[in-house]
Amino acid sequence: MTRMIKNLKDYRFYCLVFALLAMLVIYVKPQTIKPQAVYNFTFIIDITRSMNARDYQHKNEAISRLQFIKLTLRELILKLPCQSKVGLGIFTERKSTLLFQPIEVCSSYTEINSVIEAIDWRMAWAADSRIAKGISSSINQLKDGGSHVIFMTDGQEAPPINPRYKEDFSELKGDLKGMLVGVGGLNNIQIPKYNNKGKQDGFYLEDDVPHRSTFGMAPTSSVPIGQFNARNAPFGGSKVVGDQHLTRLYEPYLQDLSKDVEWLYHRLETSERFNLVLQTPHFAEQKKLLVDSRKYPAMLALLLLSLVYFPKYRYK
Amino acid sequence: MSFSALNLSDLNLLVEDTWVLPALLLILFPLFNNGVSSSVYPSTLLLPPDPLSSFLGACLKASAMIAITTLVLGLAGLYRTEQSIERIGHGAHIVVLLDRSKSMDYTYAGKAPDGSDESKSSAAKRILTAFIKQRKNDRIGVAGYSTSPLFFMPLTENKQAVLAAISATDLPALAYTNISKGLAMGLSYFQQQDSQTGSRIILLVSDGAAVIDPESEKKIRLWAKQQNIRLYWIFMRSQNDPGLYEKPENPRDDNAQSMPERYLHLFFSSLNIPYKAYQAENPKAVQEAIDDINQLENMPLHYIEEIPKQDLTGVCYGLAGFFISLLLAVKLYEAKA
């Protein structure tokens, strides 16, 4: 009995009792509900030739637009909260193709990472770059999927488009939330040319590429230019010079396109800023996650235990 | 996600939040304070040494230290990293190599799907999805090809990821059939592996073939042999297409250009690797082929089982609770002054 009374006077006894109570709380596995913004993105990456142009810097080395996109995406998937989903697709010619449907980022981090790593311009199944058509094909494929499309391109249509035949987005706009991401610098630079062994063989020259569209009907109202011939040279017969063998980010064009489909526009500069524009309420979906809260009673127990053994100043 | 540095190398233990670890300094407390209320004594010098009570005292201090350590480790989120254990069981490394050429979007009758018949690509998707769900212990990768090879998913145990790649494949198909690049892509999946732990399978699902150029032929021959590949070809034959085993009536047509399927079959047969072709003329036949492969590839073999990361915080808290109750029990028996 006296032992009990003595214990009742000892703060250490209470500390230990409460520490044990806290540990008992832990066995119940307390959980709290926490709202968490999660995201679902499908990144469609332009892999046409102009994406090989090197106008980004990484560790003091010029790297291509495609390499920069890969770096950015690899950093981004680390920053997305768990339960978010990421899908990946590539664009070339007139359409995009999905490599995989959106999957959860945390449990599939390694897999997503290796697919990003494997994306290569040589996956392109054809060589044109019809960006507006690519966007509408992406919307058509993905509009029922619930994922937001992030379309990453430099905006260079190749061969150039005939302004008469602009892609009509009126049926598609508003179907899907998305963002056009402009990739590249604003100044013209050269596009590397590769041979069939994958080795670089100089750059594209002026004579290698068409500089204007000769598709469809020629403009009829204008005064015929050069050696115009209604049958043989409806677009005019003189040699056309242009800068289509060079590449830059066609920002005004992409901004117009993004307005047509009611998407956001962002110029890719750093992965931090890219992450900020993506992780916004515009794209977020609020999920209620059960969060393990065993740490609170555990902290209390630790505190109480430290009190019991807190070093005292000893009198000699 | 968070990673950390503390690696007790052999046990592969790591913690989620390294910043909590400095709290481990708290384990020094019991060294300076035995947690027992002290009472004033004229002198302890005259007391005879008592080994038993010093031992018990040390045990109490040790218990307190263990309780503090396990609490801190629990708070820091102790876990064991993924482990791999070699087992004997049923498993294989399978690369599913899918034809993404335009014709896969048509039905077996060569028409655009109209609702009553499914397209070849969606039949392939449906049957492969069921197959993958059955193959619990396999590592599966997905590759595709059209005019150029496509990398969909690396070899992985993550079935969710594999299914996500398979389910992306019935979206509009791409262009032509460049089989040699596709095969090279499929074979490249095994090139990163240095040791062979299970059978290596390429499961080619296509509805046609193309001529393989001599240079690629040489490479494919070499790689297939080196890497010990087993090849299965599910040929989704459409109506009126020449089959794998047909010989043309006119011997002048007996060449790779006009009969690419027959020549591809001859090429595969000449590779000197285990090879089996299935000519599937309807979705049911594809299903039968898959079932057959499922049977054939159920032979026992060595494989590596990956045990995912294990959360050890529960163990930590359990130990801490045990030692705290021990301390409390002893407290109740503390001698009065």
Q: What's residue A43's pLDDT? A: 93
- The phi and psi torsions of B99 (rounded to 5 degrees) equal -80, 120
As given in the structure block, the two tokens for residue B174 are 């791409």
Whether B321 and chain A come into contact, CB under 8 Å, resolves to: yes
What angle is formed at CA A66 by the lines to CA A64 and CA A67, rounded to 5 degrees? 65
As given in the structure block, the two tokens for residue B222 are 């070499």
Of B1, B317, B321, the CB nearest to A78: B1
Judge contact between A37 and A285, C-beta under 8 A.
yes
Q: Is B269 left (phi over 0), alpha (psi -120 to 50) or beta?
A: alpha
- Could A294 and B313 be called an inter-chain contact, meaning their C-beta atoms sit closer than 8 Å? yes
Q: What's residue B5's pLDDT? A: 42
ipTM above 0.85, yes or no: no
Contacts of B103 (CB under 8 A, 6+ apart): B110, B120, B173, B177, B207, B208, B238
Domains of chain A, first to last: 33-205+246-290 (3.40.50.410), 210-243 (no CATH)
Whether B230 and chain A come into contact, CB under 8 Å, resolves to: no
Of A13, A27, A95, the CB nearest to B172: A95
- Could A99 and B151 be called an inter-chain contact, meaning their C-beta atoms sit closer than 8 Å? yes
Looking only at the bridges linking them, the beta strands covering B92-99 and B199-206 are parallel
Nearest CA among A167, A168, A134, A166 for reference residue A151:
A134
- Could A306 and B68 be called an inter-chain contact, meaning their C-beta atoms sit closer than 8 Å? yes
Whether B25 and chain A come into contact, CB under 8 Å, resolves to: no
Whether B161 and chain A come into contact, CB under 8 Å, resolves to: yes
Measured between CA atoms, how close is A46 to chain B, in angstroms?
A: 14
- Could A299 and B75 be called an inter-chain contact, meaning their C-beta atoms sit closer than 8 Å? yes
Measured between CA atoms, how close is A262 to chain B, in angstroms?
A: 24
B window 176-195, beta carbon within 8 A of A: 176
B window 67-106, beta carbon within 8 A of A: 67-68, 71-72, 74-75, 100
Residue spans of alpha helices (H) in B135-282: 159-167, 179-191, 214-226, 260-269
Q: State the DSSP H helix or E strand holding residue A114, giving kind and residue range, or none if neither.
A: helix A109-118
Number of CB pairs, chain A paired with chain B, less than 8 A apart: 170
Of A13, A100, A312, the CB nearest to B33: A312
Calpha distance B212→B217 (Å, rounded): 6
Q: What is the residue whose two structure tokens read 């029922």? A: A144
Measured between CA atoms, how close is A82 to chain B, in angstroms?
A: 8
Whether B157 and chain A come into contact, CB under 8 Å, resolves to: no
- Could A23 and B32 be called an inter-chain contact, meaning their C-beta atoms sit closer than 8 Å? no
Q: What is the pLDDT along chain A (316 residues), one digit of tens a residue?
A: 555 666 667 788 888 889 899 888 888 888 888 888 889 999 999 888 888 888 888 888 888 888 999 999 988 888 888 888 999 988 888 888 888 989 988 888 888 888 998 888 777 777 777 878 888 888 888 877 788 889 898 888 777 777 777 777 777 777 788 898 988 888 888 888 888 777 888 888 777 777 777 666 666 655 556 677 667 777 766 677 777 788 888 888 888 888 888 888 998 888 888 888 888 888 888 888 777 888 888 999 899 888 888 877 654 4
As given in the structure block, the two tokens for residue A163 are 């302004």
User: Which of A16, A114, A312, A314 to mutate: most B Cβ within 10 Å?
Assistant: A16
Contacts of B136 (CB under 8 A, 6+ apart): none
Q: So where are chain B's domains? A: 13-81+309-332, 85-306
- Could B148 and A27 be called an inter-chain contact, meaning their C-beta atoms sit closer than 8 Å? no
Whether B205 and chain A come into contact, CB under 8 Å, resolves to: no
Nearest CA among B319, B225, B231 for reference residue B272:
B225
Could you list the mean pLDDT of each consecutive 10-residue stretch along chain B, which spans 337 residues?
44 82 85 69 71 84 90 88 68 82 69 69 82 81 83 85 84 70 81 68 81 79 82 78 72 71 82 81 75 71 64 89 89 69
- Taking CB atoms and an 8 Å cutoff, what residues of chain B touch A27? 317, 321
Q: What's residue A12's pLDDT? A: 82
Q: Residue A312's closest chain B neighbor by CA? A: B33
- Taking CB atoms and an 8 Å cutoff, what residues of chain A touch B68? 302, 305-306, 309
Nearest CA among A164, A146, A158, A139 for reference residue A260:
A139
Q: Does domain B85-306 have CATH number 3.40.50.150?
A: no
What angle is formed at CA B182 by the lines to CA B179 and CA B188, rounded to 5 degrees? 140
Q: How many residues does chain A have?
A: 316
Q: What's residue B118's pLDDT? A: 73
SS3 A155: coil
B window 1-20, beta carbon within 8 A of A: 1
- The phi and psi torsions of A292 (rounded to 5 degrees) equal -65, 120
Instruction: Work out the burial of residue B320: count CB atoms within 10 Å of its CB; fewer than 13 is exposed, 13-18 middle, 19 or more buried.
Output: buried
Q: What's residue B301's pLDDT? A: 58
Whether B199 and chain A come into contact, CB under 8 Å, resolves to: no
Calpha distance A131→B35 (Å, rounded): 74
Q: What is the residue whose two structure tokens read 């820091």? A: B76
- Taking CB atoms and an 8 Å cutoff, what residues of chain B touch A302? 23, 26, 68, 71-72, 75
Calpha distance B262→B246 (Å, rounded): 7
Torsion of CA B311, B316, B317, B322, to 10 degrees: 140
Calpha distance B26→A138 (Å, rounded): 57
Buried b (16+ CB within 10 A) or exposed e, A188-204: ebebbeeeeeeeeeeeb
Q: What's residue A237's pLDDT? A: 67
What angle is formed at CA A130 by the lines to CA A124 and CA A136, rounded to 5 degrees? 105
Instruction: Work out the burial of residue B85: count CB atoms within 10 Å of its CB; fewer than 13 is exposed, 13-18 middle, 19 or more buried.
Output: exposed
- For residue A312, the one-letter residue type is K
- Could A101 and B1 be called an inter-chain contact, meaning their C-beta atoms sit closer than 8 Å? no
- Could B67 and A305 be called an inter-chain contact, meaning their C-beta atoms sit closer than 8 Å? yes
How many CB atoms are located within 10 Å of the residue A292 CB? 12
